[in-house]
Chains A and B, each alone.
Chain A
């Protein structure tokens, strides 16, 4: 019998950022960067594992907003333009660095990298990354799950139960729309749990979800196996907790692998190189004058305050392999330590943001691939599993209610409700009360009528305003103005639709425009709002 299990879960999410009202929009780069640096490298790694007949297991949560963007024609066409511009920049860089062979090698590497990415995207994956992930699901190695519709922070939407239910039901329906089946697991946005949420998940057929470590450690009953076994919430829905050690090895700012001096330095981007004139960078930066990350980075982390040294890709990949060995080794040590006096092998649950791998940690996909190869080695007595696999073997688990928790700073809700963002919650709650009334009062409107379209669009606007990303950004202080604009715009759109529906003055031209701009969840039905 294997001594223990390792469950790796990646949560892939980006907020819905799509601006057809502009010829190009800077924040759309979030998606483009994630496709090039995270999703395609991850797919490439899974392809190689499949080719080499590695018996791996990985769970990938894909948020409904990301699913929608990954199948959006406008965004995908803009992505290809973005890649072609980068290829153009690498050509210029190869020429510029011709007297510096080390740099030129890297410039050539970036040209190869972007060229391969474009080729993979168009020819191998046919511009449909969801389908590519689904192919891996069909091999039985990749478990796909989803999360709330627009990544709403459920504990703070819970003043109206309908808001929580809609986030969950629309999220699941969106998954069904894209993959043709229901997900078994559910990623709670920000791992934000409150007692009772398991009942809503149960209503939608969800079998398991995740919390941060203290969700289980502080449960209503002392957890007999700590974080090394799931809890049954009492209704058959199971909760798995993030393993603190596995988390620390990857996430920690000080001791985590991504901070190693051999890895590529994220912040050392030629977009911010003072030696490069704005005129040179103009076609590749914001409004031709504001420096931004281009994706071309020539240095490694190096460490300390010393001048940044040039990036050595082979050395970095070698280090990623060493770190993979270390990770597996530490997982084994942990399993050995806790395996005594148990009636079942322990499980280490290791969830991470998918965008960590490749974007922030350039070598992350390689590390992940190596971890899965090493875990495949039977000598390791550690087996990769999905939570579904685990529950199929061990369905009888300790019953307890997890504690309210998130994986955010300080472990509770503070990051999403504080002096920077608390003003949004009365607005969201009032809008929810209004949509409940509309859904009830106008349930009888004819199908495909203007009223029905306006009501559906109002639900979309509200869902988009509920995204946890906006309060997160307000607190983190990054693109605050954009986050504020998105919430106020979505609420204004909701307000407009609400007023025109109530006053029976719906303007089809405006409605068309809103449907075109916020084209997420095409099959939404406002009538489900109160009864979903």
Chain B
């Protein structure tokens, strides 16, 4: 591969010159929105705006908005899904951790400008991600249904009839009120309560397994303790223990 061996001084010079002069910067030539799954309760979103959009935003009285759609199946066009929530963002933001209303669902987002007449002009769509399921599946393959009524626009939560079947292992029909209660209970870290529809509280059964859910949760707690050891200062910084 390399034919000429350079001295360590020459290598150092090359390394330092490149570090100094080619520092990696994010280009903002395109508007984009990217989602990454974090855990059953969160996703991470980052975005950038092209210069034209950024100047429109600065000049006109628009609100920058993220809209997140979710569904229990991967859809070709998530905008067709009527389950979504909005999050207003500041012009100087470029990322945010988002608390999601449902685990074990697919999420897709759009970034857009909310006009004064409350219309969202979509700038671009995101990728689609899946956030993991939390808890074990029940032994039975029981199909369950959740029906959600439309909620008031004034709360910036829009969900038309949303029919999630089967794989979400929801054992009860959750009413609109139950969801709003959960919304109040669970919205805390990144999203204000009028911005997020949350429907946690999924029950699951664990019988029939070799390792019970309790045993498993104990081991997870233990694993968490183990990982505290990882952060003890050690020069290698490796996850040895």
A516 near B216 with CB under 8 A, answer: no
Closest-by-CB residue of A relative to B132 is A404
Compute how far the CA of A409 lies from the CA of B231 in the bound complex, rounded to whole angstroms: 11
Interface size class of B (residues with CB under 8 A): 35 or more
In the assembled complex, the CB of B200 is this many whole angstroms from the nearest CB of chain A, namely: 16
* A218 CB within 8 Å of chain B: yes
- The 15 listed contacts between A and B (C-beta, < 8 Å) are A29-B235, A226-B210, A245-B215, A251-B226, A253-B222, A359-B240, A404-B37, A414-B42, A417-B38, A422-B44, A476-B231, A478-B233, A489-B18, A492-B24, A493-B18
Compute how far the CA of A413 lies from the CA of B129 in the bound complex, rounded to whole angstroms: 13
A residues 394-452 near B (Cβ < 8 Å) are 403-405, 407-415, 417, 422, 425-427, 429-431
Compute how far the CA of A411 lies from the CA of B231 in the bound complex, rounded to whole angstroms: 16
Compute how far the CA of A248 lies from the CA of B90 in the bound complex, rounded to whole angstroms: 45
In the assembled complex, the CB of A188 is this many whole angstroms from the nearest CB of chain B, namely: 14
Q: Which of B5-13, B49-57, B153-161, B175-183 contacts A (4 or more CB under 8 A)?
A: B5-13
* B59 CB within 8 Å of chain A: no
* A472 CB within 8 Å of chain B: yes
A26 near B238 with CB under 8 A, answer: no
Which 8 pairs across A and B sit closest by C-beta, in order of nearness? Answer: A226-B210, A478-B237, A244-B219, A412-B39, A404-B132, A513-B14, A491-B24, A21-B11
Q: Is the interface of A mostly helix, strand, loop or mixed?
A: helix
* B173 CB within 8 Å of chain A: no
| Contact partners of B138 in chain A: CB under 8 A | 222
Q: Which of A76-84, A177-185, A371-379, A494-502 contacts B (4 or more CB under 8 A)?
A: A494-502
Compute how far the CA of A253 lies from the CA of B232 in the bound complex, rounded to whole angstroms: 12
B216 near A430 with CB under 8 A, answer: no
Compute how far the CA of A495 lies from the CA of B27 in the bound complex, rounded to whole angstroms: 12
A interface size (C-beta, 8 A): 103
A221 with B137: in contact, given A21-B8, A251-B223, A411-B223 (CB under 8 Å)?
yes
A217 near B127 with CB under 8 A, answer: no
B residues 207-241 near A (Cβ < 8 Å) are 208-211, 213, 215-216, 218-220, 222-231, 233-241
A217 near B237 with CB under 8 A, answer: no
Compute how far the CA of A473 lies from the CA of B233 in the bound complex, rounded to whole angstroms: 10
Closest-by-CB residue of B relative to A456 is B1
A155 near B12 with CB under 8 A, answer: no
A-side residues, CB < 8 A to B, are 14, 20-23, 26-27, 29-30, 33, 155-156, 159, 194-195, 212-214, 217-228, 244-245, 247-248, 251-256, 258, 266, 292-293, 337-338, 346, 353, 355-356, 359-361, 403-405, 407-415, 417, 422, 425-427, 429-431, 453, 469, 472-473, 475-479, 482-483, 488-489, 491-496, 499, 509-510, 512-517, 519, 522
A222 with B19: in contact, given A510-B14, A512-B2 (CB under 8 Å)?
no
| Contact partners of A476 in chain B: CB under 8 A | 230-231, 237, 239
B23 near A488 with CB under 8 A, answer: yes
Closest-by-CB residue of A relative to B233 is A478
